[in-house]
Amino acid sequence: MVLKEDRIGQTWLVPRRVIDFIPENHICYFIANLVGELDFKKIDQKYRHTLGEAAYSRRMLLRLVIMASIDGIFSSRKIARLAEENLVYMYLSGMDKPDFRTICRFKIECASQIEEAFKMTVKIAKKWKLVQLNHIAIDGTKIKASASQNNLINQEEIETIRRILKRGNRNRRGRRQDSRR
């Protein structure tokens, strides 16, 4: 039997792209296309022509938040760590590494845009029959939702999305209050 050599630390003559390591049918491509369709002109105006260091792209931060939510991750610290260590998150962030405070502020400042992106995600996923929202499970908790076959999101689904988003912000607020003690 032949033994393969250990290649750790080996350099490549031609550097590879992060995208080369991600399967073609990965959901991150859907997220990238979805966020690419959203209008960020109003949000971007706030950061244009201001003093200080350049702000991270709101599109990039939204891609990270959506991907993390799909993976069931709501902690800004964990999202920041994934942007440094996980190839999918590196791809979605364009190799930028926002810190957890930036992600946390984005989740608070752009909550309505994040909610709209989540609604759009659910509509498209339902349209393509990628999901059926019979229930949404996070950490084993089942939340009943009405799942009609049309492309509309009903009020119960909107409330479910809002509860999921609030959960991430609630974790952040609790951690901040604990650190002040």
| Side-chain-facing half-sphere of 162: CA atoms under 13 Å | 8
Phi and psi angles of residue 124, each rounded to the nearest 5 degrees, phi first: -65, -45
Question: Which residues partner with 142 through β-bridges?
Answer: 137
Enumerate the domain spans of the chain: 20-40+54-180
In this predicted model, which residue has the larger pLDDT, 145 or 34?
34
Please state the rounded mean pLDDT for residues 25-49: 85
Please state the rounded mean pLDDT for residues 173-180: 49
Amino acid at 64: L
Assess whether pLDDT exceeds 60 at residue 173: no
| Contact between 65 and 73 (Cβ < 8 Å) | no
The pLDDT score that the predictor gives to residue 178 is 47
Q: Of 110, 108, 106, 120, whose CA–CA distance to 157 is shortest?
A: 120
pLDDT grade for 160, boundaries at 50, 70 and 90: confident
> Tokens in use for 128?
């393509």
**Maximal C-alpha separation, the chain:** 64
Tell me the C-alpha distance between 118 and 124, whole Å. Answer: 10
Please state the rounded mean pLDDT for residues 2-14: 82
What pTM was computed for the model?
Answer: 0.69
The pLDDT score that the predictor gives to residue 61 is 95
In this predicted model, which residue has the larger pLDDT, 116 or 66?
66
